[in-house]
Structure 1
Amino acid sequence: MTNSIAFSVVLLACLVLVGCARHLNDPGRDISLPQKGHVVLADQRFSPPDWPQALYADVYIPDGNSPDGNPAAWPAVLVVHGGGWERRSRDDMTRISRQLADRGFVAVNIDYRFAPEYRFPAQLHDVQIAHRWMRDEASRLRIDADRIAGLGFSSGAHLVALAGLVAGTDSSLNAEYGPEDEGFFAVVVGGIPSDFGLFSGGKLLRQLMGARQEEAPEAYRAASPITHVHDDAPPFFLFHGTLDQTVPYEHARVLYEALLEHGVHAELYRMRLRGHITSFLIRGGAMRSAIAFLHDMAGRPADEE
């Protein structure tokens, strides 16, 4: 083992042991939630027959009846992977989806179309039709259609945040496929690109948007979640690495502050000494807190689950 590899292993072990994270708005929850077990419905097509690309989801359903005795009343979470809007797959979110299902949520882990073949807002539309599909298939998937949340990391965080913020508004981003009501009951986002104006440029954004920022400033602004923050937005739980160089920590901070300014319940879990990838791979405390947050926001105390 070379010295550089040995150093990396030691550093990674230290990060795991010390848990370098800080929850800036910790309400003191008990995050020790019991595990339930789950079943999986793999490769469920959620896109309509005439959609430009066939899209699929893996659905993770908790075992047994929900706490209120109704087998179709589990709260649910729409799960969206990262990858710069143009790569990776829902496989990245398998462990998170299993964790959600084991703690009392139906997790629907989805595909979406990739840039540059498909430009924004195609990816947002995919998330919106997945949300619609979850409601349409609620009985079969054992989902409480009135309690669906969104969870994503990186570009997936961007998409679920946008879907949650524009839902029920007159935004053009909600007009075609978004719900008329408020949509998600809560949103969990990690490593979120919240304000495209904070980036100096880059290939990924150019391929997503089909233009450079200086060529289409209004389009970049409209595609930024922070632009759509409003007083009736759903509650947010954000986690972000303070050493993130891909999506700087400022993205989480400014979105968190904007939500608070509008009177929206928001929590920020700051992960010190972690970058973009490590905040995803070493996310234990953040994800446990996020799941407890989802239980709270679903209106069901964790100890009843």
Structure 2
Amino acid sequence: MRVNANPSHETAGALAAGGPLLRSLCRLHHLRQRPESDLPPAQQQPRDLDYRVVKNRTYTPPDWPQPLQADIYLPATAGAARRPAVMMVHGGGWEGRSRDDMTPIAKRFVRRGYVVVNVSYRFAPEYRFPAQLNDLQVARHWIDDHAGEWRIDSQRIAGLGYSSGAHLVSLLALVAGTSSSLDAPYGGSDTGFAAVVSGGTPADLRLWDSGRLLIQLMDGTEAERPTAYAEASPVFHVHPDSPPFFLFHGSWDDLVPPEQAETFMQALEAKGNHVELLWMNGRGHITTFLFRGSAESAALDFLAREMPAPNA
């Protein structure tokens, strides 16, 4: 079913109240997360750690079309053990906003012992897709290059994004090390993630009528560039070895309709992958992000289970 990019709240409410979403709510009720403190002791993360922030580190090479920066959040943990990490990517319709939007999330995660790398990327329409994905591929290599310096366990790096950031993080995770043309020349198997947290995700760009944001990102409408729209959609790249995904989505989202989350979940499940979906009931696209505390808690629980410490 195709939907408009901006359906009414009544339409979004109807989607959330019936049909496949109602079945999904029933089927996924058991996935509502336990409090993190209820996890087995070996899977619990430390809490309220001190940390320091290294701001505005340029991660792109000197010849990159635009210098891009990242902020690195480093927890104050004792000992020489390597730590899990999360690469965070902000939203903004692929055309704006900044990594500052992710700062409160970064602070919560670093206090739980995660090294957080909060990155910027190039914007449309000056830079068309896949420029944004290429930026993240370079950033992901850069994290591995500094794993020793930041004491990161390279086997426990997750991706986290919201909205357009979720689209890019999901694509990065799914095309890494595959035969997709999007994986070359900047990707590779080491640009993937051990787990992904993806909120308000534009998972299938073909489910919308082509609006301004998509046209300026993709340099044309879906009718003009159907293959490009398919290849830019995370659902197109789901495969049996996809990393585990934690999805969260507003049930009244009228910008990225709930059908996107349902479609993404079904595509991942169909290939035998582990996926969890948390509905933010009665919330739209913006309010899901602004009042995301329960989703953050569930995501922390998810990552603690999917990326446990060695020998846990």
Question: Aligning the two structures, in what range does the TM-score lie when normalised by the shorter sequence?
Answer: 0.7 to 0.9
1:244 CA displacement: 0.3
Shift of 1:27: 6.9
Residue 258 of structure 2: aligned partner: 249
The equivalent of 1:59 in structure 2 is 72
CA shift digits 1:168-194 (9 cap, x unpaired): 111111121112247200000000000
Contact 2:77/2:113 (<8 A) preserved:
no
What corresponds to 2:199 in structure 1? 190
> RMSD value over aligned CA atoms?
1.6
Corresponding letter in the other structure for 1:54:
P
In structure 1, distance between residues paired with 2:29 and 2:209 = 28
Match of residue 11 from structure 1: none
Is 1:137 the counterpart of 2:146? The answer is yes
TM value normalised by structure 1: 0.87
Cα distance in structure 2, aligned partners of 1:210 and 1:104:
41
TM-score of the pair, normalised by structure 2: 0.86
Which of 65, 77, 86 aligns to 1:77? It is 86
Residue 300 of structure 1 and its aligned partner are, at CA, apart by 3.1
Change (3 A) 1:25 1:267: farther
Find the residue that maps to 1:134 and give its secondary structure: helix
The aligned counterpart of 2:106 is 97
Partner of 1:26: 31
Contact 1:132 1:179 in 2 (8 A): no
Which AA in structure 2 matches 1:82? Answer: G
Hey, what does 2:57 align to over in structure 1?
A: 44
**What letter corresponds to residue 30 of structure 1 in structure 2?**
P
- Write the distance in 1 (CA, Å) between the matches of 2:29 and 2:261: 12
Secondary structure of the residue aligned to 1:88 is coil
Q: Which runs of 4+ in 1 moved over 4 A?
A: none
Describe how 1:166-205 pairs up with structure 2 within 5 A: 166-181=175-190, 183-205=192-214
Distance 1:93 1:102 in 2: 14
DSSP 3-state at the match of 2:106: helix
**In structure 2, which of residues 211, 214, 226 is the aligned counterpart of residue 217 of structure 1?**
226
How many residues are treated as equivalent by the alignment? 277
C-alpha contact (below 8 Å) 2:172/2:191 kept by paired residues: no
Distance 2:31 2:75 in 1: 27
Question: Which of residues 251, 261, 276 is equivalent to 1:267?
Answer: 276
Distance of aligned partners of 1:24 and 1:207 in 2 relative to their CA distance in 1, 3 Å threshold: farther
Indicate the structure whose relative CO is greater, using CA pairs within 8 Å and at least 6 residues apart.
Answer: 2
* Alpha-carbon distance in structure 1 between the residues aligned to 2:102 and 2:87: 11
The answer to whether the Cα contact below 8 Å between 2:250 and 2:280 also exists between their aligned partners in 1 is yes
Three-state SS of the structure 2 residue aligned to 1:118 is: coil
User: d(CA) in 2 for partners of 1:243 and 1:37?
Assistant: 37
Q: Specify the SS of the correspondent of 2:31.
A: coil
Residue of structure 1 equivalent to 2:300: 291
Q: Is the 8 A contact 2:99 2:118 kept in 1?
A: yes
1: CA distance, partners of 2:272 / 2:49: 35
Matched residue, 1:17 = none
Alpha-carbon separation, structure 1, partners of 2:77 and 2:225: 51
List gaps (5 residues or longer) in structure 2: 1-24, 38-44
Aligned letter for 1:31? E
Of all paired residues, the percent bearing the same amino acid is 53
| 28 and 98 in structure 1: CA distance in 2 versus 1, 3 angstrom threshold | closer
Structure 2 residue identity aligned to 1:124: L
Residue 137 of structure 2 contacts residue 191 of structure 2 at CA under 8 Å; is this kept in 1? no
**Could you tell me which amino acid in structure 1 is paired with residue 80 of structure 2?**
N
Q: Is the 8 A contact 1:242 1:273 kept in 2?
A: yes
CA contact (8 A) 2:141 2:190 kept: no
Gaps of 5+ in 1: 1-21
Residue 146 of structure 1: how far off its partner (Å): 2.1
Aligned to 1:158: 167
Aligned to 1:15: none
Q: Take 2:77 and 2:309, find their aligned partners in 1: how far apart are those partners? A: 17
